[in-house]
Structure 1
């Protein structure tokens, strides 16, 4: 993925986001992509559901942690009573096997946790990656070499294994969603730093950046005034692609039992408990799995749409390539 993002911005390409005019151009290009607009609507709806989770569960009259043992059949191992997993006016999506906890309340609160962890982890990755990448590009040869080697070590570390190790040694009293977001961000910022460094090195050779450095500006003033505005487009593009990756990592960690701990709901943690109920109560598995699939798909499509809108050359290359194929066939 790093190579794709870097290759999408060749030297000499205008990769800045010029204020309001650039925002209007971005929106105009994004509107030409129906799939990206649909994905944006889905993501907006999911974020709204996550933010309004307490209100939605209050409207239903349930909460994600209360047990309802009378709604499950203990003689059959805890299978929910009633049709479709116990769906009723009081429990809109049915109840959880064995415990009888409300599935709708756990699903919407799980969205709150999963999306919150993914966005927070992405923010940590982007902040560290931008700082390290810009510092490596603007520093002297020794600083660049040191930061580049540290970045290589971070990239070489297996994310899942490092996360498992760190999560296992942290005291259980630390808020688990915050801990998962911090660990994902602190272990996986290397690719962001590589992308930022590559773009910053290209920008550093431009005339206006060279003039600013020769005029006596310090490195951080050059970064703030000249580099960071031009780095906005590639950083936003990569961040949009990081969010679905981080949702998947959070779900995998929770599925392995070292992520978000019960009774706090998350989609990955729900999948952990649902793997033995796919026959007796299939909705218990399908609801979190379907929500996870829809969220990752929508965010991936939206990220690709954002990349194309910020890099209009991608659409131009597609049109040129299609035209050449048509000419060849003619």
Structure 2
């Protein structure tokens, strides 16, 4: 097969894929979006905090599981002693009501659990979705119908109800963060499988794929060498938007009491314990809620930036305000 023919019809010609000049174009387009850059910096900071949680808590001199009963006023129902929930040099964000556990330590370790569950579940969803989608598009008619029906069933399953049912029946001895990751990942891969199947069916009709088939390449070699690069853009875009969704799902499951169990901290589990303390100790509720809000917004904005950078023809949903009007005025003044 002619290398020139393959190069001239590569899927990355119009939509940049990782590697080579496509990666450089992607980074250049992403850098042009200030909102996406700010969101990426916030996400990078959150990941750094999660990875450095042991170091940060060591600097503070605390850990997420030690009780401090002396810092709790039992006569007032377990409210932390002191102002601002016991905030001080030894406890940078104060302590939990009733237990006296350090809030900063639980918050940074909770970032590990929440982000780890979301990223792990997204990896499972992408892997299963791409495998099912590509296999369905490249298989026989019977295989396509069978895998498509399985995908339809997965898409139709109510995620929260199925997750609640599965998490309730699994023994508590099973590591809860791993279980939540598996449940979310194994239930919610249907949409990405549909995206992968549709994109693969489109790519199958391109000249470079036909040339590879005529050259005697096998099905999976064609999929690996010719189709997967063309799937990179839609899959990466959808995966970037799945991460904040999975963070919200993990928080909801933990809030409902079937997700991560104490003493392992997660932001959703912290919200569960804080729902009755919003007046007596508001920081106990506001800190995990604020962390969840900032994380989900940053990941959503970053996902939109990735979508726009991978498909520069699409208008970004973030381009609102005065920027467009200034460009229009400049064009009119130049024409006048």
**Alignment TM-score, normalising by the size of structure 1:** 0.92
Q: In structure 2, list runs of 5 or more residues that go unmatched.
A: 1-10
CA distance 1:121–1:316, change in 2 (3 Å): closer
Distance 1:272 1:12 in 2: 46
CA distance 1:316–1:186, change in 2 (3 Å): closer
Q: What is the CA distance between 1:211 and its match in structure 2?
A: 2.0
For the residue of structure 2 that corresponds to 1:145, the secondary structure is helix
Distance 1:219 1:15 in 2: 23
* Corresponding residue of 1:190: 190
Contact 1:68 1:99 in 2 (8 A): yes
Distance 2:20 2:45 in 1: 26
2:120 equivalent to 1:117: no
1:275-314 superposed matches below 5 A: 275-314=275-314
Contact 1:176 1:261 in 2 (8 A): yes
* Corresponding residue of 1:4: none
Contact 1:15 1:231 in 2 (8 A): no
1:64-143 superposed matches below 5 A: 64-143=64-143
* Corresponding residue of 1:6: none
Q: What is the CA distance between 1:196 and its match in structure 2?
A: 0.6
For the residue of structure 2 that corresponds to 1:314, the secondary structure is coil
* Corresponding residue of 1:163: 163
* Corresponding residue of 1:270: 270
Distance 2:172 2:50 in 1: 25
Q: What is the CA distance between 1:20 and its match in structure 2?
A: 2.4
Distance 2:147 2:328 in 1: 44
Contact 1:16 1:231 in 2 (8 A): no
* Corresponding residue of 1:179: 179
**Alignment TM-score, normalising by the size of structure 2:** 0.90
For the residue of structure 1 that corresponds to 2:217, the secondary structure is coil
Greater than 6 Å deviation, 4+ residue runs: 316-319, 321-327
Contact 1:43 1:299 in 2 (8 A): yes
Q: Which moved more, 1:261-270 or 1:161-170?
A: 161-170
Count of aligned pairs between the two proteins: 317
